Structure 1
Amino acid sequence: MLLATVLVDAEVSEYGQALDYNPCIDCKLCVTACPVGAIAKDGAFDGLACTTHNYREFMSGFTDWAQTVAGSADAADYRSRVPAAESASMWQSLSSPPGYKSGYCLAVCPAGEDVLGPYLEDRKEFLKTVLRPLQDKRETLYVLPGSRAQEYARRRFPHKPLKEVTGGWAPPE
């Protein structure tokens, strides 16, 4: 989830009131979809795993990438160490606001008026068309070396290549 603050100098309508219920239907699709295991079955959240993977192009990932560029002997060496898709992604984030790699938890969440109906009507079809493509997608997962996220991704998504990154962070002891 990307959090931000918005300051408004206007009167807020009745639609701006806090929810009086929890929209989560406890389906655990967010847990199943997360490629780095940042959301546990009990609802615990590993913010470092999420940040490491999703915000790769923010300062910590940029630092790793810059060190790779500086440590490369020449262009061929750099290309052997960094896939073209990662170079393109980093360049895109440098030329526009950075994006994040995986909003899968949000993409699969049926807790909304427009998606709850289709989920409840045909869960198998929802899983096939919404969840499975994300799980099957071949994509690089960014993890801290020795982290729970690294172990989870290796075990749960062996078809997805892992890239160890640090950016000055270390997994909790």
Structure 2
Amino acid sequence: MHLTTRLIRSLRSLGRLYAGRLRHYAPNACAPYLKVSFLMMIRFIFLSLFMIAGTTMASNEIGAPEGVSAEDWEAYLKHKKDWEAMLQQRFESELKANPPLPPWEKFPEYEPSNIFWRMGTGEEYLIDYFGVYLKYASKDDIQAYKLKYPAPKIWENWYNEN
């Protein structure tokens, strides 16, 4: 019984993910209870990345995963380190002095559940600029940012989730 309940819940979650895509392409065909909010998708993505990061961190300590040469593993670790340094440099040189606009001001024509935020320009903006700012800014800077750019009603839970 426990396994069946767990399986049903995971299938229901998977259905909700696909319903979010269906809602974008055929909004009238999607039942309201299957709609996926933007925040649910972000939670899923960050949880997935967190789990991958934890696995990668454990792998960094142990060594190269099975099937990966030591040379390729070292190249990956160097690339990862260089990428983080590039993001830190972007924050210091661009974003610290001129924080990016929040997504609802930069692209006001898109609501939070739109697929625009999951691929293409919107995703790039959230990850490469807005996400970098939130990652490296101090808590005081983030509080001042939230006061300067209060979230509209449709985006009100967004700050809490990110």
Please, what TM-score do these two structures have when normalized by structure 1?
A: 0.24
Please, what TM-score do these two structures have when normalized by structure 2?
A: 0.25
